[in-house]
Amino acid sequence: MQEILDDIVATIGSSTERGRVADYIPELAGVNPQQFGICVATVDGQLFSAGHSQQLFSIQSISKVFSLTVALGKLGDGVWKWVGREPSGDPFNSIVQLEHEHGKPRNPFINAGAIAISDAILMKHLPREALAEILSFVRFIADDESICFDDKVAKSELETGERNRALAHFMAAYGIIKNPVDYVLGTYFHHCAIAMNCQQLARAGLFLAGDGRNPVTGVRVVSASRARRINSLMLMCGHYDGSGEFAFRVGLPGKSGVGGGILAIAPGHASIAVWSPGLDDVGNSKLGSQALERLVMKTGWSIFA
Ligand code: GLN
């Protein structure tokens, strides 16, 4: 495995076609696009890393997997009153689909869906209480108390998030969002602003590779059927309108973020985190997807194998 990762860093990690770094906030626009990190956490407890695997980055939409898991823990199937379970085929911040579908987002991983999930988690609590719950969950699954929000990123998101604000107000108009919009967005922007490195992220995803149980600590996080369902949503919706292409090329459940990270799950084998800040046209890490394609080719981990 170490040889495979070293090869990926030497080939894909040094590519000159790196995509474009997200530039809607200065904290992301200023990230050096030359960085590339990867980490594989296997279900038998080994950790393999290469490149900038210890460099913190903004996990952004990858956090939507964790907020969904927290919401499922609180509400069970009640969550599906807020969001659907269908791929969107639209960009992550699209507004059009919401109107056609009466304010109910297609799935929990597009922006509208994750904003609705923040509303579900809030349930009349204050944003700091919902955020404490999400952060302590992430620390628990990664087994790492040092994981934190990047407050600068959260502040910038709040200052520039007019489109997300529009999505939230639109859903409030349809009665999907019931808490004050500011509370909901404060929760959403902060959980997107969690900073992690590839090693922490790979460890955090292990429960999804282990049928809902962290195979290293032995602690059950969710039931096996819930882990399968989260994985299926990641496969169908984790890369927005690039989800089909990712499933076709990589064949693993995965979730991307505009910070350039991807968390991919090889059920029964490993949890994989890769980070390269340059994005492709639909907002997914360009080299990250290529790296996962190569990793799967070498390991045979595709779920369709
Ligand atoms: N915080 C980002 C936003 O709301 C997350 C988007 C993403 O990672 N795709 O626009």
Tell me whether residue 104 is one of the annotated catalytic residues.
no
Collapsed DSSP state (helix, strand, coil) of residue 278: strand
Instruction: Quote the mean pLDDT of the chain.
Output: 97
Q: Judge whether 2-60+195-299 and 64-193 match in fold.
A: yes
Tell me whether residue 174 is one of the annotated catalytic residues.
no
pLDDT at 124: 86
For ligand 1, atom 3: residue with the closest CA: 111
The response to whether residue 58 sits with its C-beta less than 6 Å from ligand 1 reads no
What percent of the chain has a predicted confidence (pLDDT) above 70? Answer: 100
Gap between the Cα atoms of 164 and 78, Å rounded: 23
Gap between the Cα atoms of 64 and 78, Å rounded: 17
**What separation in Å is there between the alpha carbon of 258 and the centre of ligand 1?**
6
Q: Which atom of ligand 1 is nearest to the CA of 114?
A: 4
pLDDT at 305: 87
The response to whether residue 61 sits with its C-beta less than 6 Å from ligand 1 reads yes
Q: Identify the CATH number of the domain defined by range 64-193.
A: 3.40.710.10
pLDDT at 73: 98
Give the domain ranges of the chain: 2-60+195-299, 64-193
Mean of the pLDDT values across residues 82-93? 95
Per residue in 234-278, pLDDT (tens digit) is 999 999 999 999 999 999 999 999 999 999 999 999 999 999 999
Q: Identify the CATH number of the domain defined by range 2-60+195-299.
A: 3.40.710.10
